[in-house]
Structure 1
Amino acid sequence: MTTIDPRFDYCELLLQHDNPAQVPAPSLPEGYAVASDPLAYRDAWVALMGELRFPGDLDEHRAHWAAMTETDPELFSRYSAFVVDEQGDLAATCSLWPGRHFSPERLRIHWVMTSPSHQRKGLARVAVAECCRRFAADKPGEPLYLSTQAQSWPAIRLYESMGFAPYEGAWSDRTAEQSAADWAEARRLVREVAGAEV
């Protein structure tokens, strides 16, 4: 996961699942497991950020990790689902972390990544579903959201297949009308440029 299509300009979009308890829980492929201690994977997580060409250098990626794990290691551990292979190598990740889009802050899906050598096995789907399960257990009845952009239209299709829907309400400094217009433009561009529907 985290495939960025460079043909699109950046425009932030939100997706939301109104009942994350209903997200299907897919099975892990043979040879994979959900790690019991996400905090043990700092170097692998930082390396994966670089491998997937997230903006910034390795020092900035380490700073992202530190910002989460040093601020609230219990929260990070509770809401991080790291999938590892038979050798214990990091294959896919998903975490929940407080987002800035609403007031008061709400947890959102964050840092969904799959190592290129482990892609197309459904591992991101498993990691996201596991985070949804934990969230729903702790916060029954609360919606769960995520931030994305048209550049990540393959990820949008994954999330929509799991029951997430475009959020076209007001958030941060965006009105509901602006949010709806952003989604309409993203759908148009993805259809015209990538030949896909979101």
Structure 2
Amino acid sequence: MDNFLIKNSLNKTISYLSYRSFIKKLISEGKSTGIKQTDEHLNFSRLNDTRMDRLDKTLKISDETQNSLDNLNKGFTFLVITEGWCGDAAQILPVINKVAEASDKIDFKIVLRDENEALMNQYLTNGSKSIPKVLILDQENNVLDSWGPRPTIASKMVVDYKSKNGSLDEDFKKNLQIWYNKDKGNNTQEELLSLLKAS
């Protein structure tokens, strides 16, 4: 992996709080993040902003996650590629933020997909620019692993539904949101922590 590309991308990162503020400002101007400005993207951005407000208030990390974080003996950066209109990101970024807040060993940084095309193209999912994508970096900014765009259970739901129905429709998207709400970020916590332990 080109370390220059990572360093260049890190220069363009914003914090989670800055990201939340930026999305709210864009929404107030009738805009979304990303190159493509559509009513659909704006509507998703509004919905996601409300979801993230709720998750920021209600999400808690598990005791298992906290114990794992307390036992980390080196530092990591979660470099996350995303956009404000992405439904999966609205469920996952608040979880990552809670994990990062619970440990002084984890730094959480965000870049926008459409502004970092070269980076996104290095981390495609089955040839597509699926987000969010989490890059796990060591203290020298080497990429140790990547994760995303969804937890394993949600990814399997997508694959199974597509193979049966050809594409994802509104019914599926509602069912996926129900799953995220029931899971409360636990699947995401477990998978990210298992990657940190392996690194």
Q: Same fold (TM over 0.5)?
A: no
> Highest relative contact order (Cα 8 Å, sep 6+), 1 or 2?
1
Higher strand share: 1
Q: Using structure 1 for the length normalisation, give the TM-score.
A: 0.31
Normalised TM-score (structure 2): 0.31
Q: Which protein is richer in helix relative to its size?
A: 2
